[in-house]
Structure 1
């Protein structure tokens, strides 16, 4: 890549997807706290494209076949790259490669270990209410409805069938009380360790201290704690982290991402299509890549 060339990306996301929130929050932390760039630094342009999951845009043919076969968000396409990035943590590490201060080398092993534990927690299980058994009503019939049509091509049908297999085998299990209990225990254990880390570094603004500043760990833990609170499980969060997350939610970066709303969609928020202009191209969020000897990771 030429040093002065721009890097153009599209981030496909949904406003109330926990993992979309994590990536979007990281982007805005990078925008605010990244190292100053100079005139020769390449420009990173990220356009956020909201997918309306309430109207099944995540299983649209163009998205399943060209962006993410799993029909999940977030996903990111990078101009000139061989394929999209379809895992939220992979997107985050890609961004941190461009903004290394968000993954400081002296703390990288700890951050990676804690995020491994965080992403081992089933997001559905920690969000929904506890049920005594798996319930099929959690499965959205949208895939079946499309499969019932006779005007879809074989490749699209194959992608939909793969999506259905995943949903049918995964979603009901996530609602089972044993998996909810497991997710709650994992959450309590993880956040107890994060609280100790925060206390070790002085409980000053960021998890690893004011001298380090925001990191990928902050970008993931703040949305995670917020989702736990919104799901009625604040009891799992140490008090010191409840205060930490509340302070971060008062920041301009969080307000840009969530606009004063919680992390779980609610009827009073109205339809996503009313919250966003779905017909207009969202202006790109402008980020700048810090000048480095080499920039790696762009050829994903």
Structure 2
């Protein structure tokens, strides 16, 4: 029997924390509303370190979810998660939908980049050099504007995240948020937040964040209860399916 064609394509980088969050959330998606809402996902790896494929005109960032039918690309892991949840309601289930969505937003208020590349400003410099090289070529106006926007983001959101002041603020924000999440976990009567029998998208995103912090040697930021929660989730087949025994970072 012929394999069904994909309805969506996810372009991702295997060490992008936001890419991993989307892939792991989809692996734990639960049942679709009905057959018409079932998403058949094809994953395409984009190597943003070796080949700089994400610098192409269509993929200046990952993850990107592409709807095969209408050709509409959707960037940003939070937006992709909300899109998927329309087909898989257990990702953001009622009656906790509002709070789960807000906490996902809050979690992404953490500068993952700031933690991952602390003390490595050369990471931003290398990216800027590569992008500036593209500007010297014969490219479309649309592509040029996209690269210029990316360069601006590198100067603000990326380089700015590595300053001592930004790092201290990021750490304090993170500690306050994980304390709140730890309290929610301790109040839950199940293995997941909000007494859920199945993990929500918040659980999925949070577990990936915990894994990243452990991988970069910043487990000190994560309360012990959340560490145990994350490690238990990482022992499950869904995590193994996505990560294949790999770390969340190549560094």
For the criterion TM > 0.5, the same-fold answer is yes
Q: Counterparts of 1:173 and 1:124 in 2: how far apart (Å)? A: 10
Q: 1:47 aligns with which of 42, 45, 48?
A: 42
Structure 1 residue 59 corresponds to structure 2 residue 45: no
* Matching residue of 2:124: 138
Q: Counterparts of 1:78 and 1:231 in 2: how far apart (Å)? A: 34
Q: Counterparts of 1:160 and 1:130 in 2: how far apart (Å)? A: 25
Deviation at 1:11, TM superposition (A): 0.6
State how many pairs are aligned. Answer: 245
Change over 3 Å in CA distance of 1:100–1:161 after alignment to 2: same
Deviation at 1:138, TM superposition (A): 2.6
Greater RCO between the two (CA within 8 Å, min separation 6)? 1
Change over 3 Å in CA distance of 1:36–1:112 after alignment to 2: closer
Change over 3 Å in CA distance of 1:121–1:104 after alignment to 2: same
Deviation at 1:194, TM superposition (A): 0.9
Unaligned runs of 5+ in 1: 65-70, 267-300
Q: How does 1:227-266 map to 2 (within 5 A)?
A: 227-266=212-251
SS in 2 for 1:15: coil
- Contact kept? 2:55, 2:131, Cα under 8 Å: yes
Max radius of gyration: which structure?
Answer: 1
Change over 3 Å in CA distance of 1:157–1:110 after alignment to 2: closer
Q: Counterparts of 2:145 and 2:84 in 1: how far apart (Å)? A: 32
* Matching residue of 1:274: none
Q: What's the TM-score, normalizing by structure 2?
A: 0.89
Q: What's the TM-score, normalizing by structure 1?
A: 0.75
Unaligned runs of 5+ in 2: none
Q: Counterparts of 1:137 and 1:116 in 2: how far apart (Å)? A: 26
Q: Counterparts of 1:137 and 1:19 in 2: how far apart (Å)? A: 18
Q: Counterparts of 1:171 and 1:35 in 2: how far apart (Å)? A: 37
